[in-house]
Amino acid sequence: MFKSKRSGLVRRLWRSRLVTESDGRDGCRGGEGGRNGPHAGLEDELASIAHAFLKRLKERSLDALANAVETKEGIPSECVMVPRTELQLGAHHISPQFLLCKLYRWSDLPLSAHLKALCHCQSFDALDSAKVCSNPYHYSRICGPESPPPPYSLSHSEEHKPLGENYSYKNLAHIQKQTFIFPPLFFLSDTGTSLGSSTSDGHRSHWCSVAYWEQRTRVGRLYPAHEPSLSIFYDLPQGTGLCLSQLHTNRNSHSSSVQQIRRKIGFGIVLSREPDGVWVYNRSQHPVFVHSPTLDPPTARGLSVKRVMPGFSLKVFDFERSSWMAGHGMKPESQEGPWDPHSVRISFAKGWGPCYSRQFITSCPCWLEVLLNNHR
């Protein structure tokens, strides 16, 4: 019997879903050894909703979704736009993007999870749009308290509560020993222009430069970033950006640890300059570790190195936080000697600092130095 391409795409996508413990080996639900109880029932309902959702998608959307899922976004895929609606899952309501992220990326995704649309997605900062992208590889999870909590909270109970409209930043002067929440704002340099803006001759300047290091040796030249986002990778099937594998290195000097970590970089990371700061999205299969001046609480006694797991994003540089620190002449107590208030350091797979065996980033096999362009 003749079968359409559309039904074939639905079958391909259904076979590509993450298999949970309540799946049988053949993909059937409730097989021998499957889980019983409410959780298994919820998983069955989720599968039923997901299958029905896929069958409603148009052929072009199915094709884009299959491309994203089967290549794990190694090959850029289109947005999969669907009406902004909520789907009923038991006593809960879930969004289409949550459904597909749980189906294809994170089977352990909790209902309370906040998903962040990546900067190249049509749903990025489009909260009022009638349609929403449901491509699971156009989203990331946001690092939570485990890695550790984001800075700038006035108290644990108010960690995610925005400040009122009448709150003045001047009021923060007497509580410098705490951490703070700031509303989004473009960072203004001393010249009154935003980070990475156009120069006087009309050409757009780079908003950051990236240096790649292997332990104490810098490899290649500084790489300037002109576009709002920059992919940094070692091996990517299709894409543009800073390809670390193409940088000229002295292979005879490679230690086994450097070679091992180079192979783990894979799809690498995406750096993006957004209205509230600079974000890092980890698209590799291994964690990355990050430190920047705005991630350190003002009175931190030790270096705050944050771990960003695969599929997660972290705001690694807060523009307003940096501006406030500069205005108050603040410098983290953990910093000694020369200190660059506009640099971010990122290591691949291996961390450093007080919680790790490597005390300095120069002991990490492969790492990046991101120099933000504050019209240096």
Interhelix angle 5-16/38-56, nearest 10 degrees: 150
CB of 186 closer than 8 Å to CB of 275 = yes
3-state secondary structure of 69: helix
CB burial of residue 173 (10 Å; 0-12, 13-18, 19+):
exposed
What sign does the dihedral 359-364-369-370 (CA atoms) show?
negative
Three-state secondary-structure class, residue 92 = strand
**Each residue's pLDDT expressed in tens, for the chain with a length of 376 residues:** 446 888 999 999 999 998 654 454 444 444 444 455 556 667 888 889 999 999 999 999 999 999 999 999 899 999 999 999 999 888 889 999 999 999 999 999 998 899 999 999 999 988 888 999 999 999 999 997 544 433 433 333 333 333 333 333 333 333 233 322 222 222 323 323 345 445 545 556 899 999 999 999 999 999 999 999 999 999 999 889 999 999 876 554 557 889 999 999 999 999 999 999 999 999 999 999 999 988 877 666 667 899 999 999 999 999 988 888 888 776 665 555 566 888 999 999 999 998 889 999 999 999 999 999 874 4
pLDDT at site 148 = 41
From the list 298, 280, 278, the residue with the least C-alpha distance to 289 is: 280
Give the residue from 169, 177, 199, 101 showing the smallest Cα distance to 141. 101
Domain 208-372 annotated CATH 2.60.200.10: yes
Q: What is the largest CA-CA distance in the chain?
A: 76
The counts of H helices and E strands in the chain are 6, 17
CA-based R_g, the chain, Å? 23
**How far is it, in rounded angstroms, from Cα 43 to Cα 251?**
50
Domains in the chain: boundaries: 43-142, 208-372
Examine domains 43-142 and 208-372 and report if their fold is the same: no
This prediction has a pTM of 0.79
What pLDDT digit, counting tens, does each position of 181-212 carry? 222 222 323 323 345 445 545 556 899 999 99
CATH fold of the domain at 43-142: Smad3; Chain A (3.90.520)
3-state secondary structure (DSSP) of residue 307: strand
